[in-house]
């Protein structure tokens, strides 16, 4: 099986910048390991992700372990 490429290191400022931007609008961010709601699996058509799906099987298919999710809430239909 081919080796997975090492992912680049995360931007140490990224989460802080996102948090600051969210707070300016009265919101907060949360780092979650998976989606808090049921979601369909969509993978990027890249061999790296095909290898991960094969290697991690049901965990990759059901737990959305490599997902990026943005959840928002709007207080009222008028503000939407």
The pLDDT value given to residue 58: 82
- pLDDT tens, residue order, the chain (80 aa): 456 566 566 666 778 888 888 899 998 887 766 666 677 777 788 898 888 888 888 877 776 666 566 777 778 888 76
The pLDDT value given to residue 1: 45
Q: Cα–Cα distance between 63 and 51 in angstroms, integer? A: 16
Q: Answer yes or no: are the C-beta atoms of 53 and 43 closer than 8 Å.
A: yes
Model confidence pTM above 0.85 = no
């Amino acid at each position: 099986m081919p080796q997975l490429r090492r992912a680049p290191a995360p931007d140490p400022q990224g989460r802080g910048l996102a948090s600051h931007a969210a707070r300016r609008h009265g919101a907060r961010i949360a780092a979650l390991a998976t989606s808090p709601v049921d979601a369909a699996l969509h993978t990027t058509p890249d061999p790296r992700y095909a290898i991960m799906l094969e290697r991690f099987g049901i965990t990759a298919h059901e737990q959305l372990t490599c997902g990026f999710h943005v959840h928002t809430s709007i207080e009222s239909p008028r503000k939407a």
